[in-house]
Amino acid sequence: MSPDGAVPELDPVIHAQARLRVVATLNTLGERDEIAFPSLKDLLGMTAGNLSVHLTKLEDAGYVRITKTHKGRTPVTYVALTRRGRLAFEDYTKAIRALLDNAGGTL
């Protein structure tokens, strides 16, 4: 709970299980680092279609940056967490901790 007794609000964009896994994984990268889409897909064990849908929602919220480029003749898509995404994830983890810290005491 917050100091005024309100239950913390959880960001619905991040709260979906698959998007939470994506953001948590991207948060482990350095601020200027990015990961190739196939590597992220394999790391998370998601299908390309499922990952694409969740990345679109995160991109629409400004939480991830998608960069499409070419390596020689081969198209490559890179994914990175934006500054806004890092701050949203930080706020989300603070809200979860507050919720859990107060879970047993006020029911």
Question: Mean pLDDT throughout 88-97?
Answer: 95
**Residue 81 backbone phi and psi in degrees, to 5:** -85, 130
> Residue 83's pLDDT band (boundaries 50, 70, 90)?
very high
Give me the residue spans of the domains in the chain.
Answer: 12-97
User: Does CATH place domain 12-97 in 1.10.10.10?
Assistant: yes
The Cα 96–Cα 1 span in angstroms is: 10
* Mean pLDDT of the residues in the chain: 91
Mean of pLDDT values over 67-95 = 96
Which residues 6+ apart lie within 8 Å of 100 measured at CB? none
Per-residue pLDDT at 104: 67
Average pLDDT of the residues in 41-47: 97
Per-residue confidence at 1, pLDDT binned at 50, 70, 90? very low
Summarize the confidence of residues 24-41 as an average pLDDT.
97
Q: Give the per-residue pLDDT at 7.
A: 67
User: For residues 80 and 33, is the Cβ–Cβ distance under 8 A?
Assistant: yes
Q: DSSP letter at 47?
A: -
Position 57 confidence tier, pLDDT thresholds 50, 70, 90: very high
